[in-house]
């Protein structure tokens, strides 16, 4: 199939814009990076090495930076931003290269049975990566099935380790640690995700990072979110 140069260029621009919104690995920005969440700082969650993340407010409730079926604390200086996936998909579908850029947008904004809803940027806190929230439609699928579909939708995944957990807010869910290999960069890195069910549908929290070192450095922020996770 032939693709016009102009259309391909437009699709690449759209992909770059979406990649920037959903996780471009840029150098951390300088500045105080104050988080806009309204809640006061709370106790931190600990990572695998016992390091704790200082709380910087919560998101998920009505009026917060991201309104979600769940709410949880985010680490100090991490910046939350809501993602309107439907609006982004609609915008790309109206372009002159709608089919191509729409497919790229769909690849960035959907993964398995869930759609991107919020990203919490670690760059203001000095790290390169995001904690992302994905949501799905209400149905009969349990958290474990949703999480397995989410991971299966990612290319070149290996060494998945699943386990059940319970949050401090009384929710039960399933968590996974796995390795993800990039064909483009020829690099393998660690990733972590969890899924819980809610009356409004499943929610997946995913922690990536530029590499395994950054992933581990950001792990306390993920553990803080996991520990404080509860229904909105």
For the beta carbon of residue 125, count every other beta carbon within 10 angstroms.
22
- Residue 183: CB partners within 8 Å, gap ≥ 6? 155, 156
132-155 confidence digits (pLDDT tens)? 999 999 987 899 999 999 999 998
108-131 confidence digits (pLDDT tens)? 799 999 999 999 999 999 999 999
For the beta carbon of residue 157, count every other beta carbon within 10 angstroms.
15
As a whole number of angstroms, the distance between CA 230 and CA 72 comes to 7
Specify the pLDDT at position 99: 54
155-198 confidence digits (pLDDT tens)? 899 999 999 999 988 899 999 999 999 877 788 999 999 999 99
pTM of the model: 0.76
149-166 confidence digits (pLDDT tens)? 999 999 899 999 999 999
Closest C-alpha among 136, 159, 152, 153 to residue 212: 159
At 82, give phi and psi (nearest 5°): -70, 150
As a whole number of angstroms, the distance between CA 171 and CA 114 comes to 19
Domains of the chain: 34-84+112-231 (3.40.1000.10)
């Amino acid at each position: 199939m032939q693709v016009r140069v102009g259309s391909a260029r437009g699709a690449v621009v759209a992909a770059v814009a979406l990649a920037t919104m959903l996780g471009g690995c840029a150098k951390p920005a300088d500045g105080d990076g104050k988080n806009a969440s309204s809640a006061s700082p709370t106790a931190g969650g600990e990572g695998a090495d016992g390091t704790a993340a200082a709380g910087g407010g919560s998101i998920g409730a009505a009026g917060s930076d991201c309104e979600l079926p769940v709410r949880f604390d985010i680490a100090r200086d991490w910046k939350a931003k809501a993602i309107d996936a439907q609006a982004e998909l609609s915008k790309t579908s109206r372009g002159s290269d709608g089919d191509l850029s729409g497919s790229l947008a769909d690849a960035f904004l959907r993964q398995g049975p869930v759609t991107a809803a919020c990203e919490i940027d670690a760059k203001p806190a000095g790290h390169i990566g995001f904690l992302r929230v994905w949501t799905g439609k209400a149905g009969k699928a349990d958290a474990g099935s949703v999480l397995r579909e989410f991971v299966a939708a990612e290319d070149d995944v290996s060494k998945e380790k699943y386990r059940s957990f319970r949050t401090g807010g009384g929710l039960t869910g399933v968590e996974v640690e796995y390795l993800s290999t990039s064909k483009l960069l020829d690099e393998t890195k660690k990733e972590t995700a969890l899924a819980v069910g809610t009356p409004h549908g499943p929610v997946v929290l995913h922690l990536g990072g530029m590499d395994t070192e950054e992933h581990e450095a950001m792990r306390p922020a993920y553990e803080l979110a996991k520990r404080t996770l509860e229904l909105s």
